[in-house]
Amino acid sequence: MQVGKGKDKRIKIGEIEDKKIFCYKNQSSEKINTDKLKEVIEETIYKYARLEDENTNSGFVLINKRPSVSIYKETVREIVNIDETKKLLKSSKSYFKGYKNSRGIIGATASVAWSSKNDKTFELITYRQKEKWGSKRFVDDDSTMEMNKTCSLTFDNYDYENKHNRIVPSSPCPVLFGIRGENETELVKAKSMIKSEKIDAWIIFESNQGTDDHLQRKNIDKIKPYNSVIVKGKVSRKPLTLEGGHVIFSIKDSTGCIDCAAYEPTKKFRNIIRKLVVGDVVEVYGGIRKEPLTINIEKIKIISLKNLIEKVENPVCLKCGKHMKSKGKKQGFKCKICGSESNKPLLKEKKRLIQTGFYEVPVCARRHLSKPLKRIKKQS
């Protein structure tokens, strides 16, 4: 976030207890007391970060000049080496502090480097009263569904198929709920529609959620573990349901072949995948699992469906008007009456049970960065 004194036009973006929080169009040139700032941040981290958790590796950075957006792109798409981040921060005379393995400074640097110019969304986050932290949350499902219907610019609110309220986190964090959307004004209305336990504070963040920023188009031979990719290819092995309900198939392009998986938690999405056949052309969107190298499908665009031909009946003799008899597998056909031969049975195009176009995993299985089809349709 940007820290400083705002000036010019302001809009309200939150409330903490009874204090209104504003976001300003411009920043005043008044100098910032960075020593005071460091102190406040350090105190906050010591007070609230769960440093005893093995996955918590906090970090913060104070940067005067925004790093190139390429730093953000690399971080969201590849695995970044912490020494490179430290080198960059030192060369720009930025202040940074990492805790434990310090990998938090990588994300902190990337978030400063992020630019909202290309695409962005908003998330309104509400926070629980401190005494409620860790206990079961109360957020009403019916009011969430009602909000989802009314606020058309929000997304990923409720999974109707799997009865899952997606605005409520599953971790024991202080967040009560988070609503994602295209428009900050609508988010405030959306929040007011949710029936829930008391909200202690709320604030709207600009975000890269739902933007597909993590994805990059790749040929199969260039795919590395932990990449997130868009790959176009032809189905080369038909979908197979494994024990546990995971559905796997393979695609190939001119450079190689790779497995694609719709795992069990993607529920009914797997029924689409099961209808693919060898020869269909698809574009697969997803993250790469390492062992074995597999695309974990987030969404799929079916580009073309292979025409499936099936034999309906044996050919009819032109002289006698009766069906010929088969002479054996791949041996052609012969008329029993006059002895005429033919090798062309009557064929019919088999009806395919899916259509071309985009399909996505259900809301409950969606990754935060995945762009929902709702957004893709609005932007195209």
Q: Which stretch binds Zn ion (CB under 5 A): 54-62, 170-178, 300-308, 331-339?
A: 331-339
First-residue to last-residue Cα distance in the chain = 30
Regarding 318 and contact with Zn ion (CB under 5 A), the answer is: no
Nearer to Zn ion, 244 or 339 (CB): 339
Q: Considering only the stretches 18-26, 94-102, 249-257, 336-344, report the one whose residues sit in contact with Zn ion under the rule CB under 5 A.
A: 336-344
Q: How far are the Cα atoms of 39, 73, 74, 113 from residue 50, in angstroms, in the given order?
A: 18, 28, 27, 26
Nearer to Zn ion, 87 or 336 (CB): 336
Distance (Å, whole) CA 213 – CA 218: 14
Site size for Zn ion, by CB under 5 A?
Answer: 7
Amino acid code (one letter) for 185: T
Query: Interaction with Zn ion in 338-377: which residues (CB under 5 A)?
Result: 338, 340
Do residues 164 and 234 make contact, with C-beta atoms less than 8 angstroms apart?
Answer: no
Is residue 335 at the binding interface for Zn ion, with CB under 5 A as the rule?
yes
Q: Residue 290 carries which DSSP code?
A: T
What's the alpha-carbon Rg for the chain, to the nearest Å? Answer: 28
Helix (H) or strand (E) holding 34: helix 34-48
Rounded to a whole number of angstroms, the minimum distance from the CB of residue 343 to Zn ion is 15
DSSP classification of residue 186: H
Q: Which stretch binds Zn ion (CB under 5 A): 13-21, 226-234, 240-248, 312-320?
A: 312-320
**Applying CB under 5 A, which of residues 3, 40, 51, 337 lies at the interface with Zn ion?**
337
317 near Zn ion, judged by CB under 5 A: yes
**Of residues 246 and 334, the one with the C-beta less far from Zn ion:** 334
Give how far Cα 231 sits from Cα of 193, 217, 239, 288, 297, Å.
Answer: 40, 6, 17, 11, 11
User: Binding of Zn ion at residue 336 (CB under 5 A)?
Assistant: no
320 contacts Zn ion (rule: CB under 5 A)? yes
Residue 149 or 344 with smaller CB distance to Zn ion: 344
- Within 10 Å of residue 76's Cβ, how many Cβ atoms? 21
Counting contacts by CB under 5 A, is residue 319 touching Zn ion? yes
- Binding segment toward Zn ion, per CB under 5 A, in 18-26, 212-220, 332-340, 358-366: 332-340
Question: Which residues does 283 contact at the CB level (< 8 Å), separation at least 6?
Answer: 230, 231, 232, 300, 301, 303
> Residues 44-63 vs Zn ion: string with x where CB under 5 A?
--------------------
Query: Considering the rule CB under 5 A, would residue 40 count as an interface residue with Zn ion?
Result: no
Binding residues vs Zn ion (CB under 5 A): 317, 319-320, 335, 337-338, 340
